[in-house]
Structure 1
Amino acid sequence: MLDHAPETTRRSGKLWDEVPDPILRSVGFLSFFDRFATPPMLLVLAELTDLSLGQAVELVAGYALLYAVGQPVWGLISDRFGRITVLRTALVGALLGALASTLFSAYIPLLLARAFTGLMVGALYPTLLTLLGDTRTGISRAKGLSDLQIYSSLGTTIATLAAGTLAVLADWRLVFALPALGCLALLVGLRRIGPDPSRTASVEVHRAFAGAPLGVYGLAVLEGAVLMGALTYIVPALQHAGTRISLAGALAAGYGLGVIAGARLMRYLVHRFTRTRLIAIGGAVLVTAFATSSLWQAPAALTATAVLIGLSNAVLHSSMQGWATDVAPQARATTVSLFACALFLGASLATYCTSGLAEDGQYGTIFALSLALSIILTAAATAGHLAWKRRQD
């Protein structure tokens, strides 16, 4: 059965019940749709604007970078002023950033608009994780994470399937405009939510910056590099292999299907395996994913990689998220936000460092580097969690 650390502080379960589940799941859907809508249309942006492919890739990297660096601030705000305050503020900001993204096609203004949007969207999913940590433990929390992953993976899948096609058949600006409409709808849905019972005047923030949490953040950097940084290149690699963009999006959407299947599978695995073993299993799947694409860049191999990354995300990443919610419960929002910061910092660094390789079409090299990092991640995360759990016991 799933192991978890005992909590020394608990917040009221009232907050999760006050916010309707459809709204929370929709927030997860929206945040992942916005995050994954740009990669499928990188080549389209390079063709329809004055951007080079490298500059288009940097839009994704800039988004991920601001998503990452804003996390500590959002965590402190969440612990001090409450989860609903953060959700409302971030949705307003994401709406403005999405609208700004439709107004510019030059590199610098569009980069700034996407980076600002990343800063705002960055608050959404970590806040949902914090809500789960506040109100659920053990297997119940793991199942809640799986439910959120299903809806977030739907956002990923639809973005991957539709973004490139919408950009070609309609207008690339439409891809950025749709999240603005979603933000507006969610703000309307949140308008009747009362005072936030999670706000507090005293948070032990220092616990998020010492000991075990620091090790978890280091692992999150590696995880972001391989789970998210490499995922950026699935659609471009498929197009480089001669696949038309609509089909490339459909094949890369196998990632979302992998997440959904893995999230369903996790509902059974959490009853049979400890979190340490789940981390090892998810890591082994990730190693297999990149071993496939580093050897072959044929469409079938790249599709298999997308599906396996999704499956690993559901098993490995949800287990790492659960660990992040347990490692410093006295400052949970700050800890979860720093975990997300490290995750997206890793994704941003990986994307920036490999954009030149993508410009030259060296996708095999990118996936080979991801293979090496995934091996290191699996070994370090498994050993690290085992050592941490023994200390807790």
Structure 2
Amino acid sequence: MSAIVSTPPAVRPSAPRAGTVPLLVGTALVVLIQLYASIPLRQPVAADLGPEGVTAALAAGYSFAYAVGFLIYGPLSDHFGRRRILVYGLAALTLATFAVSLAPSTGVLAVARAVQGLAAATFAPTALAYLGEALPPQRRARAIAAISIAFLTAGILGQVAATSLSALTGWRGTFLAGGLVLAVLTLAAFVVIREPEVDRPGQSLAGRYAGLVRFAVRPGSLLLAAGHLVVLGGFVGMYSLLGPYLAQAELSAGEIMLVRAAALPALFCSLLAGPLAVRLGVPRTALLGFTVAAAGLGGEAVLGGSLAGLVIASVVFVAGVALLVPAMIALWGAAAHPARGTGMAVNGFVLFLGAGLGSYAVELPGGLAGALGVLAGLYLVAGAAVYAARPRR
């Protein structure tokens, strides 16, 4: 692994236009909301189109297409450039989102959501690779932390926004509003974003995909991937377990949403990842994140009988995950250097594959405490795997 983290690509002096980083952070939030909006919309969609196949139509096809899309677009952005993939991808996502709002049946909805997921996947690997190339190291760390916060907050804000909009405009109006916002962001990206002036090694597109496969099967990459599966997998798993548990405790839907939202401030711990990485190094920062997340889950398992204790422990857990996301982005980017698009492609594929698997945490034995204990153990094992994958120099 150390052989691919040595010399960065040559970068000519060219600062991104003012507003580029806030635009990418805001776009990240809106793009990821399209993923999580499906959670509260299942019931209104079922009432409109019929209950058969609604979960698969809204969520499964989108999630699979989204994860696979990372593997497609990372090498494409390395080959054709970041700006082109970003702008064209946002335009395709805008059209697909409008198509979702017009779906007359669950079959058409499933196809439209899969296309939407495939288009949405253009954004994250390309934007992260763009930040890695266009910004100096100090600004890069802050920008990646900010975009990480957007990725994570979308998981909670997406549900809140979809619930509120669907109550006012119906589920179709929710996606229509999303399409209108994405149209504005696409136009802004076309005007504001310019291609980083980076000298990338000349290589055919087929060679780049072959390089992706070679990178993905390296022992160091496999260790990173094993740990990375847990990052969002445990996040989704914990909240999948928490909702039914709180419902059984007779909390209302509004109160459950408040418990979920209590951890939102902890997501800003992503901003600490950069300074900690300077002090401790990126691998140790990631290990710290895994350890804090495991401690939070352990606290939830022990304090599950106390609502206050459960909320406090969940905040600790989310703080650990918030540290992890930017640290893992940095590790994947360094491992794939100078083909950052390839690194971000594998990073995103594994991250959201783990998120899909996380929903199965409800099948774990031992009730809430037992399942959370298993997840805590997985975070500790994942931390050891990621730390073992660190470059030796």
* TM-score where L is the length of structure 1: 0.81
Asked whether the equivalents of residues 226 and 385 of structure 2 are also in contact (C-alpha less than 8 Å), the reply is no
Matches within 5 A, 1:293-332: 293-294=300-301, 296=304, 300=308, 303-304=311-312, 306-332=314-340
- Which residue of the other structure, out of 239, 243, 246, is the alignment partner of 2:251? 243
Asked whether the equivalents of residues 68 and 340 of structure 1 are also in contact (C-alpha less than 8 Å), the reply is yes
Q: C-alpha deviations, 1:121-170, integer Å up to 9, x for none?
A: 12212222111222346554322222223444454443233322333354
Q: C-alpha deviations, 1:76-132, integer Å up to 9, x for none?
A: 110011111111122122112212222237433323322222221122122221112
In structure 1, what is the equivalent of residue 232 of structure 2? 224
Superposed displacement of residue 20, structure 1:
2.3
- CA separation of 1:68/1:15 partners in 2, compared to 1, >3 Å: closer, same or farther? farther
Matches within 5 A, 1:181-260: 181-193=180-192, 196=195, 197=197, 202-203=202-203, 205=208, 206=211, 208-211=215-218, 212-231=220-239, 234-235=242-243, 238-239=246-247, 241-260=249-268
In structure 2, what is the equivalent of residue 348 of structure 1? 356
1:335 to 2:343 alignment: yes
Distance 1:195 1:144 in 2: 17
* TM-score where L is the length of structure 2: 0.81
Deviates more, 1:280-289 or 1:333-342: 280-289
Percent identical among aligned pairs is: 22
- Write the letter of the residue equivalent to 1:71: F
What residue ranges of structure 2 are gaps of 5+ in the alignment? none
Distance 2:295 2:42 in 1: 26
What residue ranges of structure 1 are gaps of 5+ in the alignment? none
Distance 1:338 1:240 in 2: 38
What count of residue pairs does the alignment treat as equivalent? 380
- CA separation of 1:375/1:58 partners in 2, compared to 1, >3 Å: closer, same or farther? farther
Describe the SS at the equivalent of 2:16. helix
In structure 1, what is the equivalent of residue 61 of structure 2? 62
Deviates more, 1:296-305 or 1:130-139: 296-305
Superposed displacement of residue 32, structure 1:
2.6
Structural RMSD (CA): 3.5
In structure 2, what is the equivalent of residue 39 of structure 1? 39
Asked whether the equivalents of residues 10 and 198 of structure 2 are also in contact (C-alpha less than 8 Å), the reply is no
- CA separation of 1:175/1:242 partners in 2, compared to 1, >3 Å: closer, same or farther? farther
- CA separation of 1:7/1:18 partners in 2, compared to 1, >3 Å: closer, same or farther? farther
Describe the SS at the equivalent of 1:192. helix
Q: C-alpha deviations, 1:370-392, integer Å up to 9, x for none?
A: 64244234334345435523x2x
- CA separation of 1:152/1:268 partners in 2, compared to 1, >3 Å: closer, same or farther? same
- Write the letter of the residue equivalent to 1:226: G
In structure 2, what is the equivalent of residue 286 of structure 1? 293
Matches within 5 A, 1:1-393: 5-12=5-12, 14=14, 16-17=16-17, 20-42=20-42, 45=45, 50-51=50-51, 55-56=54-55, 59-104=58-103, 106-136=105-135, 139-193=138-192, 196=195, 197=197, 202-203=202-203, 205=208, 206=211, 208-211=215-218, 212-231=220-239, 234-235=242-243, 238-239=246-247, 241-260=249-268, 262-266=269-273, 268-294=275-301, 296=304, 300=308, 303-304=311-312, 306-351=314-359, 353=360, 357=363, 365=367, 368-369=370-371, 371-389=373-391, 391=392, 393=393
Asked whether the equivalents of residues 96 and 180 of structure 1 are also in contact (C-alpha less than 8 Å), the reply is yes
Superposed displacement of residue 71, structure 1:
0.9
Superposed displacement of residue 36, structure 1:
2.5
